[in-house]
Amino acid sequence: MSQFASVNQEACIACGACNSAAPDIFDLDYNGIAGVIYEGDRNRGITAIEPELQEDLQEAFTSCPTHCIRLAVVPFAS
Ligand code: SF4
């Protein structure tokens, strides 16, 4: 099953763990704050992440120290 992801950027501490675990899904901005960059999502959480990347996504999710990565089986509001 595909999932949707978005970062609660107010809680992100710019550690980079998500980008290390899933560089195709997460990237950091010029302040080090993470966001979902997958397929141009721009952290909106409206782009289904392909099943092949689910393992990376789960690793990023579990490695986030502030639990600010949000996952859902339906799109977040666009
Ligand atoms: S792992 Fe969490 S706290 Fe660290 S950069 Fe990614 S979203 Fe931010």
Q: Encode pLDDT of 37-76 as tens digits.
A: 999 999 999 999 999 999 999 999 999 999 999 999 999 9
Show the tokens assigned to 30.
């010029």
Please tell me the distance from the alpha carbon of residue 20 to that of residue 77, in angstroms, as a whole number.
27
Q: Encode pLDDT of 15-39 as tens digits.
A: 999 999 999 999 999 999 999 999 9
- How many angstroms does the Cα of residue 24 sit away from the middle of ligand 1? 14
Domains and CATH numbers, the chain: 4-72 (3.30.70.20)
Mutate to test the pocket of ligand 1, among 8, 9, 12 (most ligand atoms within 8 A of CB): 12
- How many angstroms does the Cα of residue 50 sit away from the middle of ligand 1? 21
Please tell me the distance from the alpha carbon of residue 37 to that of residue 30, in angstroms, as a whole number.
14
